[in-house]
Amino acid sequence: MTLFSYTCDATDSMTQGRAGVWHTPHGPLQTPGFMPVGTLATVKGLLPAQLRAAGAQMLLANTYHLALRPGERIVEEHGGLHRFMNWDGPILTDSGGFQVFSLAARRKVDDEKIVFRSHIDGTELELSPERAVQIQESLGADCIMCLDECPPAGESREKILAAVDRTTRWAQRCREAQKRSDQALFGIVQGGIHPDLRERSAEALVQLDFPGYAVGGLSVGEPPAAMYSTLDATVPVLPADRPRYLMGVGKPEDILEAVCRGIDMFDCVMPTRNGRNAMAFTSSGPVRIRNSQYRSDLGALDAECSCPACTDYTRSYLRHLFVAGEMLGPILLSLHNITYYQKLVRQLRDAILESRLQSLRSELLTRWSGAA
């Protein structure tokens, strides 16, 4: 029996949305599913038990950052990421490819490898496809990613085409370098917002027969409509019997639209980053809790949420925590936002199972546009 398998439980009759289960050695991920980001083997400010209580099933960690601190060998000596961070569910590690985009001033790329200058102390870190796989095998995540080149929005078509073909060559090298059979290696589709380049990338990666496929290079500055049209061109090329992962997305409305186009898995720093900066996602729209209007507000942050921030405290108290610089404020809003995102993907899953995703989509978009 394979250690990894994807089962589709239902497809929505009016959209491309689908509900399924991705089975891994550390348990299942019900899809659509959202992975909180634990870059350095921790979701900032939150305990694993709190993440579980919020509904999180799977977490993400970062290969580049963990290779720098504490080093993959330290993690390996603990028995891998699961024991290192005390998380017994599935874990995904990205390859470091996104840092080609986010750390553009600190890296050089050629056909052989990426060379980074550490943002910590300036030392060199080389990432070849083989090295990226080696690090991720030492980290021991359930799902690992091929090394890819992620060009920024607005890059020339010529350079995006070069990144697509380099990503394909690197994917082949990652496939050949992989030694562990208890990790699912995903290929990453690139191509900017060019439908033909996305199809070229996806078709080449499908030939390599990966157990899952990611769509990278989106949410890097392109308008939402361009993201959605890119998914329209990309997702139909990907196998229906494998999970589909949209990397680094994102806003609730982007998750909604991506699910309607057949995406299964998501990650983003937005719930925790925004929470640390006093912004909460709520059923009635975003709440910027530092605003003076909440100074004497004795109501709940979100009356439809059952997390501790909403059931145990008032908006007035939460505002006080941020104004006073107390660490409990960022913790509570991060926990709330993770809870909100998990509730959202559960709502979308339930709607697919009940063939009402289109009506939920209309309801949510109307609610969110009214809040804006």
The token pair at 94 is 């990205």
Partner residues linked to 184 by β-bridges: 143
Gap between the Cα atoms of 71 and 63, Å rounded: 10
Query: What's CA 111's distance to the chain center, in Å?
Result: 26
SS3 137: helix
Q: Which of 12, 94, 148, 302 is catalytic?
A: 94
DSSP state for residue 14 in the 8-state scheme: S
Give the tokens for residue 286. Answer: 């975003």
Active-site residue 209, yes or no?
no
Q: Which of 142, 148, 254, 267 is catalytic?
A: 267
By three-state DSSP, how is residue 18 classified?
A: strand
* Distance separating the N- and C-terminal Cα atoms of the chain: 49
DSSP characters for 73-136?
A: HHHHHTTSHHHHTT--S-EEEE-STTHHHHTGGGEEE-SS-EEEE-TTT--EEEE-HHHHHHHH
**What is the C-alpha to C-alpha distance for residues 42 and 29, in angstroms, rounded to an integer?**
19
Active site annotation includes 297: no
Taking the CB of residue 299, how many other CB atoms lie within 10 A of it? 11
Tokens read off for 190: 């690139």
Q: Is residue 23 within 8 Å of 211, Cβ to Cβ?
A: no
Residues 54, 335: contact at Cβ < 8 Å? Answer: yes
**What number of other Cβ atoms are within 10 A of residue 89's Cβ?**
19
Of 371, 184, 168, 177, give the one whose Cα is nearest residue 285. Answer: 371
Q: 3-class SS at 216?
A: coil
What are 187's strand-pairing partners? 213
DSSP string, 236-304: GGS-TTS-EEETT---HHHHHHHHHTT--EEEESHHHHHHHTTEE--TTS-EETTSGGGTT--S-S-TT
**Residues annotated as catalytic (active site), given as ranges:** 94, 267
